[in-house]
Structures are given as structure tokens and as C-alpha cells.
Amino acid sequence: MKKQVVLYKKLSPSLMARLHEQAEVTLIESLDAQGLAKLRDALPRAQGLLGASLKLDAELLDLAPNLEAIASVSVGVDNYDIDYLTERRILLSNTPDVLTETTADTGFALILATARRVVELANMVRDGQWTRNIGPAHFGSDVHGKTLGIIGMGRIGEALAQRGHFGFGMPVIYHSHSPKPAVEQRFNARYGSLDELLQQADFVCLTLPLTAETEGLIGARQFALMRPETIFINISRGKVVDEAALIQALSERQIRAAGLDVFEREPLNHDSPLLQLDNVVATPHMGSATHETREAMARCAVDNLLAALAGQRPANLVNPLAWR
Ligand code: 8YV
């Protein structure tokens, strides 16, 4: 008897074919009101769920009494109540490794684009405003040799440190739960307290997960520790930052600029004050968004889901206490 799987993220034809071979599949085409109603109707029969970018809270999952496994097409798992899932022995999996390099590339794209004002100057050319050799009013800041500060030294943080150290000759200071000697050896990195990093880094980069502990971690006090030439980069989660404090720090030039791929609420409202500031580069949560990487993530999620539904431990199990 094929298991009942509900997808709330479209998959490639080859992955859809693979799923159809081994499961009865219901596809929720979009997460608009109609799609969410269709999802709620499908949950009572769902044994497996696969998707991303949707908060699956207890209120919703109480509608799914037969649910055995959720495969998230993401590395971040802040959309899930892990204690609830573990209590119900629902196996949650994610897709950690396949997106590391792509997301770190995005981090460096934001570092370079923000420091060298690439978006602003490219728009100037496109708008026919390049009428003479550019001067100091349009100069950016160097990246090579500057101090790279990384808050959260997980897979993505390490990949960012690799790029900074080997690619741009940047001294690396990092802050995480505990020192990581291997990282310090590989990238000549040094561990610092959060305050030391904020005071010393030329680029302050957030690469840590959103948890109860990290929510609101970077607020007015933290921005006040940074220097006027500091550039702030966020490729983690928007809610790790007090966005109102960020807007104030940027408006008052407490910091030089910000490169942001994530926001407190997404999609970012077009009337957000962030979009009125000329020292902000804002991108649409594109961290892992390449053809290759999103296909690899989806493939990993399908592997995780089919394993769980076949009674095997998924390779990327987030809540091992549910496995017993
Ligand atoms: C996207 C991410 O949200 O993996 C994560 O945690 O934030 C991004 O990769 C996700 O891939 C959406 O499918």
C-alpha cells in the first residue's frame, strides 16, 4: 500500500516521477489562501509532507493524525515545532550540506555588492547617469585584507571563512557557542566574544540559525558597538535582527551599509524603510537559489522522506529523539 504524501513545493519532473512510483502524491501548487485550504483538506490523510517556507505549527499538524515524516527543503528548521514533532514521533529532516557552498557564495556576493556599491552604480549606468569619470562620491570600500567577522560558525560560516581567508586575504574573527580549533587552524581564524567581534570586524556577517536564543540577538546595543565603516551582512534569518534598530543604525550612519538576504517578514514590503535607504542591498532570500542547488536540496528531501516512510532513519534527521 503506497503511503500518502502531500507536497507543498513543486519538484522537477524526474523527482515527481520518483515520488509517484513510491507514494500517492497530492501537490499543493501554491501557498495562497486557496492552496492553504487545499493543504488543510489533504492533511487528514497525509503520512508524509515535503516542502519549505511554511510554518507547520501544532494547530495545522493536529489536522494530520497519520503524519509520520516531514522533509523540509531547507537547512533552517525554524518553521517547525520540534518538541511537538518529537512528542508525536514525527521524523523531521532537512537538507544541510547541499546548500552550504551556494549560500556562502551569496554571502560573498552581498559583501562585494554592498562594499563596492555595485547595485547603486550599475543602476546609475543603466539610468544614463554615468556622464563623467566617477569620483569620491561614488567610491566604495575595499574587501580584500579587511577583517571578516562571522557570527555562527557552522557549515555556512566555515564556507564564508574559507572564501575570506583564501580568496580575499581577510583576517577572520568569529563567534559561536564554543571555540572551533579546527576552524582556527584552517583559516587562521580567532575566536572572539560577540562584543569583541562587533567592535573589531569590518564586515559583520550573520550565519547562525533562528532559535529562541538567537531571536533579536542583534539590536540597538549591538549596532552601537559597530563602527561607522562597518558593513552588516545577514544571510541567516531576519528575526535574528531587530529590524527597527537596523534601520535606525543605517539611517544615522552608525554603520556604513547593509547587505540583507533575509527579513523579519518576507516577502519584504515594498514600503519598507530599508528600501528607501541608499546604503542597503536587499535580495529576495536567494541564499540557496540556484538551479543546481535547489534541485540537489529537493533530491535530498525526497531521499529523506522516502527513507522515513519506508521505516528507515533519514540521513538528515533533525529530531533524533523521535526515532525510537
Ligand atoms: C530557503 C533557506 O529558505 O535552507 C534554508 O534554510 O533559508 C533557503 O535555502 C529554502 O531553501 C526554501 O526552499
SS3 for 117-136, per residue? CHHHHHHHHHCCCCCCCCCH
Tens of pLDDT, residue by residue over 136-195, are 999 999 999 999 999 999 999 999 999 999 999 999 999 999 999 999 999 999 999 999
Nearest CA to 204 out of 260, 159, 251 is that of 260
Same domain, residue pair 128 and 71: no
Q: Is the CB of 96 under 6 A from ligand 1?
A: no
| pLDDT average, residue stretch 60-73 | 98
Assess whether pLDDT exceeds 80 at residue 324: no
- Catalytic-residue membership of 237: yes
C-alpha 25: how far from its chain's center? 28
Q: Are residues 31 and 71 in the same domain?
A: yes
Are 64 and 209 found together in one domain?
A: no
pLDDT value at residue 244: 98
- Decide whether any atom of ligand 1 lies within 6 Å of the 218 Cβ: no
Q: For residues 103 and 164, state if they share a domain.
A: yes
| Residues 91, 78: Cα–Cα separation, whole Å | 15
Is residue 70 located within the same domain as residue 201? no
136 and 89 both lie in a single domain: no
Taking each helix axis from N to C end, the angle separating 100-115 and 118-126, rounded to the nearest 10 degrees, works out to 70
Same domain, 178 and 307: no
Q: Is 221 a catalytic residue?
A: no
Q: Average pLDDT in the 76-83 region?
A: 97
For residues 111 and 253, membership in a common domain is answered with yes
* Total structural domains within the chain: 2
One domain, residues 126 and 112: yes
Q: How confident is the model at residue 111 (pLDDT cuts 50, 70, 90)?
A: very high
* CB distance 288 to ligand 1 below 6 Å: yes
Q: Which residue in the list 175, 285, 294, 299 is annotated as catalytic?
A: 285
Q: 87 alpha carbon to ligand 1 midpoint, in Å? A: 25
Please choose from 15, 74, 240 the residue to mutate so as to test ligand 1's pocket, defined by most ligand atoms within 8 A of CB: 74
**Ligand 1 centre distance from Cα of residue 188 (Å):** 29
Q: Looking at the structure, do residues 65 and 116 belong to the same domain, yes or no?
A: no
- Based on the residue annotation, tell me whether 291 is a catalytic residue of this protein: no
Q: Whose CA is nearest to atom 10 of ligand 1?
A: 74
User: Cα separation of 243 and 110, whole Å?
Assistant: 18
Does any ligand 1 atom lie closer than 6 A to the CB of residue 301?
Answer: no
Planar angle of CA 94, 206, 167, nearest 5 degrees: 95
Domain residues for the domain of 299 are 3-97+291-322
Distance CA 159, CA 157 (A): 5
What is the number of the ligand 1 atom nearest to the C-alpha of 103? 9
Give the residue, by CA position, lying nearest to ligand 1 atom 1.
74
69 CA distance to ligand 1 centroid (A)? 19
CATH code, 74: 3.40.50.720
Average pLDDT, the chain: 97
- Whether residue 226 is predicted with pLDDT greater than 90 in this model: the reply is yes
Question: Is the same domain home to 185 and 240?
Answer: yes
pLDDT average, residue stretch 260-288 = 98
Q: Confirm or reject: Cβ of 99 under 6 Å from ligand 1.
A: yes
Same domain (yes/no): 54, 129: no
pLDDT band at 13, cuts 50/70/90? very high
Catalytic residue (choose from 215, 253, 266, 313): 266
What grid cell was written down for 147?
577583517
- 160: which strand partners? none
- Mean pLDDT value of segment 109-129: 98
